[in-house]
Amino acid sequence: TIAGEHNSEKYYFKNFRYNEIYNDIIEFRDLVKEINPTFRILLTVSPVPLNATASNDHVLVASSRSKSILRAVAGDLAEDFEDIFYFPSYEIVSSHPSRAMFFQPNLREVNDMGVSYVMKHFFSSFGKTFEAEENVNEDDEIVCDEEALDKFS
């Protein structure tokens, strides 16, 4: 760990496998359907690669594995259930036709152009338009632990 200490007696690393993720989402879907029968699920896979891993694999291998499993689960769920949908933000940003132009120079964070492009396609799939917010405040709340750690480095 970069910050803090890892307590191996309290925490352990677990890489969830395809069937565990698939079954957990079905269980979640079934529970919510009892409360709201019209509930629908929209899935996507984040194009942001892993920054680190606790597995014995190199982070590139670990990231590819994680994204592949999540993408396969999302695709199968969308195919198996009429109320589960998949939106391809992962493919739009990460696939070879984009030539990595949607990533920041660090090749990890998605740039504003990438976010706008994905959102434009997301909303157009629902017949709506999307206007990117021009004024992003640097003091906005941090939304991810890795961003918080970056503040200390």
pLDDT in tens, 35-74: 999 999 999 999 999 988 888 999 999 999 999 999 999 9
Q: Where are the alpha helices (DSSP H) in the chain?
A: 18-35, 59-80, 89-94, 112-124, 145-150
Q: What mean pLDDT do residues 115-137 have?
A: 74
The terminus-to-terminus CA distance of the chain in angstroms comes to 13
Beta strands in 15-121 (DSSP E): 41-43, 84-86
Q: How is the chain split into domains, by residue range?
A: 18-150
For residues 137 and 47, the model is more confident at 47
For residues 125 and 36, the model is more confident at 36
pLDDT of residue 53: 87
pLDDT of residue 5: 79
Q: What mean pLDDT do residues 12-18 have?
A: 93
Structure tokens at 152: 């200390």
